[in-house]
Amino acid sequence: MPELDDASWGAEDVVADFATDGFTDPGERAALTSLRAWVVDRDVLDIGVGGGRTTGMLLPHVRSYVGVDIAEEMLALARERFPEADLREGDAAVLAGVAERGHDLVMFSYNGLDSLDHAGRGRALAAMARAVRPDGRVLFSSLNLDGVSHDEHPLRVAGGPASPRFRFHYGQYLRHPSSLLRSVRNYRATRREAVDGPGWDMRPLRAHEFRFVVHFATVEETLAEARAAGLEVLAAYADDGQALDLDVAHTDADYVHYVCRRRVP
């Protein structure tokens, strides 16, 4: 079996990639802007904080802030950047020690939900539903099964030769041939872990040279997952910032940001 590079979210090079600031894309900006009333002077639970990207965005505006991440190496970076923040190691599928109905906004950004397997996603969504107040909001993002970059492999780049994405990745290969070799080796290993389900699957992700197998789901399937977890999706934004028609439930966006509330029994 091919040897796999360090497939850990705490790997040094992965952590370095999470030392970022600002919005991931216009869709995240649109979603968070719509939730301003649930951020300013409110109680916020931020899951999957990584190196503190969202910590820096939220902390100056909230009444209270709790950040959670499963990778201690990520938290070490976030704590170095924001020593005043309440940052805790924890599993998103459990949220041990987090107050139920204690937060005005619960968010899990940067497609962090997709690092979990299908059952784990359901548990994490249910834990988020328990943590949010009845009149609060939940925000999460998810990779789209119908997205243009779903199921890429090292030599197949979404958009084809004319796309900026293609030029970027092949430029990387030309400048750093070892990156192509690592990508091929990792892909051969992680492709064995692919799983197919109705409206979802698990596939190697191009980011981090195909070291990680992550979850993809259609918009329709994600809406159903949210309902099953006790959440009602109020709005969804494509990565380009466009609001989606939830009745159509189809887009070729790579990922989608979902704004939810607790379902009324």
Q: The domain spanning residue 64 has which CATH number? A: 3.40.50.150
Residues 258 and 231 in one domain: yes
In eight-state DSSP terms, residue 176 is -
Whether 4 is in a domain gets the answer no
Please say if the pLDDT value at position 235 is more than 80.
Answer: yes
Beta bridge partners of 237: 243, 257
Residues 44 and 97 in one domain: yes
What is the model's pLDDT at position 15?
A: 45
Mean pLDDT over 171-194 rounds to 94
Please say if the pLDDT value at position 52 is more than 80.
Answer: yes
What is the distance between the alpha carbons of residues 160 and 99, in angstroms, rounded to a whole number? 47
Q: Which domain holds residue 64?
A: 12-146+218-262
Residue 227, number of CB atoms within 10 A of its CB:
14
Whether 155 is in a domain gets the answer no
Q: What is the mean pLDDT of the chain?
A: 91
Q: How much of the chain exceeds pLDDT 90, in percent? A: 79
Residue 118, number of CB atoms within 10 A of its CB:
15
Instruction: Work out the widest C-alpha separation in the chain, in whole angstroms.
Output: 56
Mean pLDDT over 116-133 rounds to 97
What is the model's pLDDT at position 18?
A: 47
Residues 224 and 193 in one domain: no
Residues 21 and 87 in one domain: yes
Whether 119 is in a domain gets the answer yes
Residues 56 and 31 in one domain: yes
Whether 152 is in a domain gets the answer no
Phi then psi for residue 21, to 5 deg, are: -130, 160
Whether 127 is in a domain gets the answer yes
Residues 168 and 223 in one domain: no
What is the model's pLDDT at position 11?
A: 54
- Domain end residue (candidates: 189, 213, 237): 213
Q: How many domains does the chain have?
A: 2
Residues 98 and 21 in one domain: yes
Mean pLDDT over 238-263 rounds to 94
Residues 78 and 141 in one domain: yes
Whether 154 is in a domain gets the answer no
Residues 171 and 208 in one domain: yes
Whether 3 is in a domain gets the answer no
Whether the CB-CB separation of 67 and 52 falls below 8 Å is answered with: yes
Please say if the pLDDT value at position 110 is more than 50.
Answer: yes
Please say if the pLDDT value at position 7 is more than 90.
Answer: no
Please say if the pLDDT value at position 34 is more than 80.
Answer: yes
Residues 196 and 226 in one domain: no
